[in-house]
């Protein structure tokens, strides 16, 4: 899996669950539509697209119906792969929820978690760290700030 994909869609537990929900949702929606189209074709001998007013009969129906079913199955299999990948990332401890607030190690400026992209301070370029427990991990900085 490319690193950009993991950082964008599997950055935290919440984003991983959101990505999986979208993948499974679209996969099962397409499968439901494809099976519905197929059952209408088997029942009436044709499939009518009510939106465009097109009627498919005979071999014309193979591409829209079975194409939809095959795409949905591929999307569901991809979702299963993403689920296994996400579980492996969780077990390796590579996924965690984003902190609410960050503090810069150099300038000790505090930033909200949603306003920061990446792990560099926008002011001085220093590394950002989670504010929760920061002064317990760095007691020397607690004394210098007052």
The answer on 59 and 125 residing in a single domain is no
The answer on 81 and 26 residing in a single domain is yes
Burial of 6 (0-12, 13-18, 19+ CB in 10 A): middle
Look at 120 and 7; give whichever has higher pLDDT.
120
d(CA 4, CA 57): 45
What is the reported pLDDT for 146? Answer: 46
What is the reported pLDDT for 130? Answer: 75
Q: In this structure, what is the dihedral angle of CA atoms 107, 113, 117, 118, given to the nearest 10 degrees?
A: 60
Can you give the residue range of the structural domain that contains 139?
Answer: 101-145
What is the reported pLDDT for 11? Answer: 65
The answer on 10 and 47 residing in a single domain is yes
Task: Label each residue of 36-81 as H, E or C.
Answer: HHHHHHHHHCEEEECCCCEEEEHHHHHHHHHHHHHHHHHHHHHHHH
pLDDT band at 44 (very low <50, low <70, confident <90, very high): confident
The answer on 57 and 19 residing in a single domain is yes
What is the reported pLDDT for 6? Answer: 59
Span 105-128, average pLDDT: 76
Q: Is the pLDDT of residue 131 over 50?
A: yes
Look at 10 and 131; give whichever has higher pLDDT.
131
Provide the mean pLDDT of the chain.
Answer: 76
pLDDT band at 41 (very low <50, low <70, confident <90, very high): confident
């Amino acid at each position: 899996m490319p690193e950009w994909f993991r950082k964008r869609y599997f950055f935290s537990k919440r984003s991983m669950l959101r990505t999986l929900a979208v993948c499974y949702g679209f996969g099962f929606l397409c499968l439901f539509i494809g099976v519905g189209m197929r059952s209408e074709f088997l029942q009436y001998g044709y499939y009518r697209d009510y939106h465009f007013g097109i009627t498919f009969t005979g071999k014309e129906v193979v591409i829209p119906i079975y194409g939809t079913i095959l795409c949905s199955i591929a999307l569901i299999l991809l979702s299963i792969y993403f689920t296994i990948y996400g579980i492996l990332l969780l077990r390796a401890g590579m996924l965690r929820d984003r902190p609410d607030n960050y503090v810069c190690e150099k300038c000790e400026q505090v930033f909200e978690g949603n306003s920061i992209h990446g792990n560099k301070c926008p002011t001085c370029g220093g590394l950002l760290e989670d504010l929760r427990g920061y002064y317990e991990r760095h007691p020397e900085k607690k004394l210098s700030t007052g």
